[in-house]
Amino acid sequence: MRRAIHESVEDLQADGVVYGEVRFAPELLVRQSMDLTRVLDVAQEAFAEASATYGVMVNMIACAMRNHDNSLRVAEEVVKRKGGNIVGFDLAGPERGWPASSHREALDLLRREGVRYTLHAGEGDGVASIQDALACGASRIGHGVRIADDISVDGVMFSLGPAAEAVRASGVLLEVCPTSNLHTQMYHHLASHPVDILFRAGFVVSVNTDNRLMSKTSITAEWQGLAEIFGWGTSEFLAITVAGLRAGFGDEVERDRLLTEIVLPGFRA
């Protein structure tokens, strides 16, 4: 675990990342003496060490698998570690048949304790899963691209259905992962991916890698694709970078510092 964590942060540094929030599901790493508590202890230590070594602020989002029954246990561990480098919670795994609302006990605990959470929705299931995540109080939505099913496009004009209007009005961040969506065959070509429509229609969007290893991608590669296919340039990339930082779960003062001292000067250079 320590080696994998150090290598992942080293890869982020090589990609020019200055702030990251890395998801992982601790329950999938439980082995023999490595119970859930020990897994999270090691992860916290290793990410802190790697962040200091490589000069990249990396926090963690602990995922519970929505098709398992450990969500309350994971949520309790996250609450216990509030104020450290585990900054949020997520429900991952198959969406269809396992809605976020079936994990109300865990989500209610997080909300009472002031811990923010993002929920996977609108990837493996449709618009209803996004509505469910929004109703569950998600601050961000993992993927969320199926909200495009509730949008009609006529040239440069966008007509939003009630679900899409609710998501846009909420200001909830959509954590869009284009390459991953191609690899799961949600879309066959980047040109048919709705990321550009969502951005142009006024949704709050960030662009992410999802699984860097399995998709063999990076933030640089994601941006290159958007520049080539949709003609994105400085203004679009600045907007999604600012959106991602502002919606981060980590220390707000530090995120503001990164924005004013590194991100904005970097885009102006």
Per the annotation, the verdict on 105 as an active-site residue is no
First to last CA, the chain: 38
Q: Confirm if 156 and 127 have CB atoms less than 8 A apart.
A: no
**Which one of the listed residues 123, 175, 222, 236 is annotated catalytic?**
123
Helix axes 162-170, 127-135, angle to 10 degrees: 40
Please give the structure tokens belonging to residue 142.
Answer: 């993992």
CA dihedral 208, 181, 172, 21 (to 10 degrees): -30
Give dist(CA 78, CA 65) in Å, integer: 14
Q: Confirm if 176 and 168 have CB atoms less than 8 A apart.
A: no
Active site residue ranges: 123
